[in-house]
Chains A and B, each alone.
Chain A
Amino acid sequence: MGLRELEDRLRQLPGNLPRAPEQPLRRWAQTHHEGGLSVAFINVVDKVLDTGRACSTWGLQFGLACCAIEMMAVGASRYDLDRFGVFFRGSPRQADAMLVAGTLTLKMADVLRRLYDQMPEPRYVIAVGNCAISGGRFYHHAYSVVRGVDRVVPVDIYVPGCPPRPESFIDAIRKLHQLMRRESIADTIGHGERQHEDFFRKRELP
């Protein structure tokens, strides 16, 4: 699609995608008042699955600008992301988390959305750097920058900084792990359509 159509489409989006109101995470035991074996079973299954997902998050490298250098630094020897099991895969089909590092321009927004759609569930997005959070230093006066990655994909963790230190990256990944560990398979029951599920995920960091 042309640049003009893309701009029109992006202009119609609200500033931030609608977020679910902040609710505490609904655990199975809170909605169903019978306790017992089924609750324990679901909790054990949740714990196992969430631990699996957290201990081996494969990232989709999406380094766009200067924050990409910090992403390379965090994957390198001094601050090593492979210690946490995170290594970068090139293909979106094999990635869990998309690390959007850098300034998103209008031309790239289409590509970003397409790659996000190609990732299999369960998938997460980490917006790294102020340009990805809100357009950053380009918020005023830039004609080609999308003011924040969350106008195009729903974002789970925001890492401020211009650019953030590699330690902030690792801190963000740990917070993502906390988020993952609070998920439950009980929340996925009844969600049929793939595209709407992301926008109403109920999560909260303590």
Chain B
Amino acid sequence: MLSFIANWLRDLLTAWFQAWHVPLVFVDILAWIVGGVAILILVMVVALVFIYLERKISGYIQSRLGPERVGPWGIFQTAMDALKLLQKEDIVPAGADKILHTLGPIAFFVVGLLGYLVIPWEEGGTIARMVDAHVGVLYVLAFGSLSVIGILMGGWGSNNKWSLLGALRGAAQMISYEVPMLLAVVCVVLLAGSLSLSTIVDQQKTLGLLSWNLWRPWLWLPVILYLIAATAEVNRTPFDLPEAESELVAGYHTEYSGMKFAFFFLAEYGNFFLVGLIFSVLFLGGWSSPFGYPDPLRIPGVIWLLGKATVTVFFLMWVRWTLPRLRVDQLMSLCWKVLLPVGFLSLLIAGTAALYV
């Protein structure tokens, strides 16, 4: 359905621009702008919905109710949070590096948005043909690495030793956990034979539910590995030491107030949803329906993908409110001493399976 809309718009714009004798390159530029705005809106809506869901789910797990006064069942809570954060005074601490302090949240937010460009939302490639999807996996991992810069800028630019400590711990955690995540993703790539995310989904769409990568036993280790490593990538409990409240006040976003804090907050949930999306694409079959390839229910693939990502995110939130936080040395030793050998083992298994199965 998305490609239908995109193609229709493109044809319409081409016809108009030809009628008005405007150079046709502007159609592409307009398509890029529309695609970018669509992603921005999607990420904002996703962050809004998931912050609300997190508060509700955490409330129900703790035998209480989450927000419930702000709208029916409290659905306008996050919008009110954003409205309040807009009104707050914008404080830059004395002695802080003003440029870094301002750019930190912006960098974090923008990099979080960029990961959404290569995900196959529908059959026929990414939206508006913006990014060449042949190296989708590489692109996503690269932008996962870039989000470390936003955290480091936030921590250094706050002129606060606790922020700096939190930022350094966060950076160490994020760059360390990229390695097991990479190994888990490479296992899937070995089996699919291509770095392109669309091809990975295309190989899981034939039989619906039965052909998902989740059910292949030689991929079970990568599944667990990816879930653990990606949770650590986005600083979620049990790995949320850099931003934990009782540990380092609030870590790298201690000194941020108002809209800058809102950027960190929204970007964190945007990243979290991206993790869910990549998990759905790699292991749960992406936009394909569980009922078979030409979807008998005729539901657009976007809905299936968002639904699967939501289930993954719900599962990770459930894990968040179950497990206690890991200390930083336990965290690092888990990564390098446990997950890395397990990653190599899973690579061995997946490689063998790719050759002989």
Q: Closest approach, in angstroms, between the C-beta of A185 and any C-beta of chain B?
A: 9
Stretch at the interface among B22-30, B78-86, B130-138: B78-86
When distances are taken between beta carbons in the complex, the residues of chain A under 8 Å from B337 are none
Q: Cβ of B261 and Cβ of A52 under 8 Å apart?
A: no
Asked if A44 CB lies within 8 Å of chain B CBs, one says no
Q: Cβ of B88 and Cβ of A89 under 8 Å apart?
A: no
Q: Which one, A78, A83, A89, contacts B68 given CB within 8 A?
A: A83
CA distance A82 to B249 in the complex (A): 20
Stretch at the interface among B2-10, B69-77, B119-127: B69-77
Q: Closest approach, in angstroms, between the C-beta of A81 and any C-beta of chain B?
A: 9
In the complex with contacts A90-B249, A120-B257, A120-B258, A82-B64 CB distance below 8 A? yes
Contact with A along B85-123 (1 / 0, CB 8 A): 011111100000000000000000000000000000000
Asked if B59 CB lies within 8 Å of chain A CBs, one says yes
When distances are taken between beta carbons in the complex, the residues of chain A under 8 Å from B250 are 89-91, 94
In the complex with contacts A55-B80, A85-B70, A85-B81, A121-B245 CB distance below 8 A? no
Q: Which one, B67, B80, B89, contacts A51 given CB within 8 A?
A: B80
CA distance A40 to B171 in the complex (A): 50
Q: Which residue of A lies closest to B81 (CB)?
A: A56
Contact with B along A54-95 (1 / 0, CB 8 A): 011110000000000000000011101011110101110110
When distances are taken between beta carbons in the complex, the residues of chain B under 8 Å from A55 are 69-70, 76-77, 80, 84
> From residue 78 to 125 of chain A, which have CB atoms closer than 8 A to chain B?
78, 80, 82-85, 87, 89-91, 93-94, 96, 118, 120-122
Chain A residues bordering chain B, tally (CB within 8 A)? 28
Q: Cβ of B254 and Cβ of A76 under 8 Å apart?
A: no
Q: Closest approach, in angstroms, between the C-beta of B317 and any C-beta of chain A?
A: 15
Q: Cβ of B65 and Cβ of A83 under 8 Å apart?
A: yes
Interface class of chain B by DSSP: loop
Q: Which residue of A lies closest to B86 (CB)?
A: A52
Q: Closest approach, in angstroms, between the C-beta of A117 and any C-beta of chain B?
A: 10
When distances are taken between beta carbons in the complex, the residues of chain B under 8 Å from A78 are 64
In the complex with contacts A91-B250, A93-B257, A94-B261, A80-B64 CB distance below 8 A? yes
When distances are taken between beta carbons in the complex, the residues of chain A under 8 Å from B69 are 55, 83-85
Q: Which residue of B lies closest to A83 (CB)?
A: B68
Q: Cβ of A80 and Cβ of B59 under 8 Å apart?
A: yes
Q: Cβ of A49 and Cβ of B83 under 8 Å apart?
A: yes
Asked if B255 CB lies within 8 Å of chain A CBs, one says yes
When distances are taken between beta carbons in the complex, the residues of chain B under 8 Å from A52 are 80, 83-84, 86-87
Asked if A48 CB lies within 8 Å of chain B CBs, one says yes
CA distance A82 to B61 in the complex (A): 13
CA distance A134 to B66 in the complex (A): 34
When distances are taken between beta carbons in the complex, the residues of chain A under 8 Å from B249 are 90-91
CA distance A30 to B1 in the complex (A): 55
> From residue 34 to 81 of chain B, which have CB atoms closer than 8 A to chain A?
55, 59, 62-70, 74, 76-77, 80-81
CA distance A80 to B66 in the complex (A): 8
CA distance A156 to B261 in the complex (A): 26
Q: Closest approach, in angstroms, between the C-beta of B284 and any C-beta of chain A?
A: 31
When distances are taken between beta carbons in the complex, the residues of chain A under 8 Å from B246 are 90
Asked if B256 CB lies within 8 Å of chain A CBs, one says yes
Q: Closest approach, in angstroms, between the C-beta of B348 and any C-beta of chain A?
A: 44
19 residue pairs A–B, Cβ–Cβ below 8 Å: A49-B83, A52-B80, A53-B83, A55-B84, A56-B77, A80-B59, A82-B55, A82-B65, A83-B66, A83-B74, A87-B55, A91-B253, A91-B254, A93-B255, A94-B250, A94-B257, A120-B90, A120-B91, A122-B89
